[in-house]
Every structure is written in structure tokens, then in C-alpha cells.
Amino acid sequence: MIGQVQKPLEEILEYLEGKKKIVIIGCGGCATVFHTGGEPEVKEMANTLTREGKEVLAAIAPPFGEFTCYAPWSKKRLSKYRKEIEECDAILMLSCGDGLQTVREFVLEKEYNLTKPIYPGTNPMGHMGGGPTLFKEKCQQCGECELGRVAGICPLTQCAKGLLNGPCGGSQNGKCEVDPEKDCAWILIYERLKKLGELDKLRKPRDPHDWSKVKRPRQLEVSPLEIE
Ligand code: SF4
Ligand code: SF4
């Protein structure tokens, strides 16, 4: 999921300065889980903006499970609000940057041929796993997963230096030398490999990590899903 927090209201109001008619769009995916763009947050933002003198033409909160970053869902949901979207002075997105840019490119530009100001209402914090309350960053989407040789613990993400070929040697009592509050990822990897009886994996020569897969922007093509 994309961890995220709401932007300060002052920043949002700064974006919306001089814009009267606003459409708010939330997200039924990560933004609902992180309480930045689910139904309660969309309603609350609509009330706040109304108090600030804005005219909220539509406050759109997709149901839980409906990701705004999936263009077919956004196209379908937003089609009911096309008039409001065309009439508004600005759109405020209570979603992550994926959601905002999906709506901008696939709905506004490609579907409606519309150039409209669209602003973020959240600060995305990266991919995180866990819940229901505590989430942790676990993966940087490097494009070539190493978890099969490191006991399911990502050294790129969990090691403060992102070391892929063993520890730096600075660990003290199992803690990281960069942040003594955190466990050394390589000690965790070693201990888990030991329990699994797979310590020999650390001795095997390996090809260098393929950093070319990190080159941005990345894109993928898949066959489309059937949606109702
Ligand atoms: S190695 Fe780490 S960053 Fe790369 S894909 Fe696997 S979990 Fe993600
Ligand atoms: S002490 Fe461990 S986690 Fe910290 S930087 Fe060194 S190898 Fe990485």
C-alpha cells in the first residue's frame, strides 16, 4: 500500500487560492486505509472548504476497494461527475500521487481532453505493509527481488546503507550502527538463514544486482481486467 498523510490545510488552501468551484476526489484504496481520502475525510474536507468560502461542486469518495489509481475504475466513477469536473476551477485529490496522475492523464486529458488544475491533498510516504494500525516500509520495488537469498528480509530497505552483500561490520549487540534503535538487517538475515539451514546462500557467488530495472519512469503492459 502507499502510506500517506494529509497535507497541512494551509498548503491546500494556498493551492486553491483564487479558485472558487472545487471538486474533491478521494480513493477507496490506500487513502481509505490511511485516513487521508476515504469517505469521512472527503466529507470533512468538503465541510472545511465550504467554511473557507469555496463552493464544493462534488465530493467523490469511491467505495472501499476501488482504487483511484486504476484508470478503468476512475473513468467509470468520474463519468457521473463529468459536468462538475468540467465546470470546476480546480480538483483536489485526496489520494496518492499515482491516483492524482492517473486521473489527470487517463481521465482528464485522454478521456475528456481537458486541462484543469489538479492539486494533491496528501503527502505519500512510499510503499508500506502491515496494519491495521502500524505499517512499515518493506520494499523499494527495485525490479529484481533479492528476498529468495536473504531469508525474506530486504537488505535494500531494512539496512540503513542498503548493503546487498553482507553487513558493514559496524553492528553492535545486533543493532544498526547508523540507528541503534533499529535491528541490524544483516544480523536478522543471518539468524533467519541459520534457522532455515540456508547459511550456505551467503557463501555462493552471485551476479551483481541489476540496477537498470530501477530506471524511471517504468511501465508495464498487462491484459485488462473485467470490471462491473
Ligand atoms: S529486493 Fe527488496 S526492494 Fe527489491 S523487490 Fe525485493 S523486497 Fe523490494
Ligand atoms: S549495521 Fe547492519 S543494518 Fe546498519 S548499516 Fe551496517 S549492515 Fe546495515
Strand partners, 120: 93
**What is the per-residue pLDDT across 198-212, written as a single tens digit (0 to 9) for each?**
999 999 888 899 999
Residue 75 and residue 110 in one domain: yes
Range of the domain at 94: 2-128
Task: Map residue 193 onto helix, strand or coil.
Answer: helix
**What is the per-residue pLDDT across 134-164, written as a single tens digit (0 to 9) for each?**
999 999 999 999 999 999 999 999 999 999 9
Domain C-terminal end among 104, 128, 152: 128
pTM for this prediction: 0.93
Q: Which residues line ligand 1 (CB under 6 A)?
A: 139-142, 145-147, 154, 156-157
Residue 106 and residue 45 in one domain: yes
Residue 158 and residue 95 in one domain: no
The per-residue pLDDT for 194 is 98
Residue 71 and residue 143 in one domain: no
Which residue's CA is the nearest one to ligand 2's atom 7? 167
Residue 96 and residue 38 in one domain: yes
Q: Which residues line ligand 2 (CB under 6 A)?
A: 159-161, 163, 167-168, 170-171, 176-178, 184-186
The per-residue pLDDT for 98 is 98
Q: Which atom of ligand 2 is nearest to 178's Cα?
A: 4
CATH number of the domain encompassing residue 10? 3.40.50.2300
> Which residue stretches of the chain have pLDDT < 50?
none
Q: Into how many domains does the chain fold?
A: 2
Look at residue 105 and tell me if it is in a domain.
yes
Q: Which amino acid is at 166?
A: G
Residue 106, burial from CB neighbour count under 10 angstroms (0-12, 13-18, 19+):
middle
Residue 146 and residue 101 in one domain: no
Q: Which amino acid is at 205?
A: P
The per-residue pLDDT for 169 is 95
Look at residue 188 and tell me if it is in a domain.
yes
Q: How far is the CA of 157 from the centre of ligand 2 (A)?
A: 11
Task: Give the ligand at the shortest distance from the Cα of 181.
Answer: 2
Phi-psi label, residue 164: left if phi above 0, alpha if psi -120 to 50, beta otherwise: alpha
Residue 68 and residue 165 in one domain: no
88 is written with which cell numbers?
A: 470546476
Q: How far is the CA of 136 from the centre of ligand 1 (A)?
A: 14
| Residue 40 main-chain phi, psi, to 5 deg | -60, -40
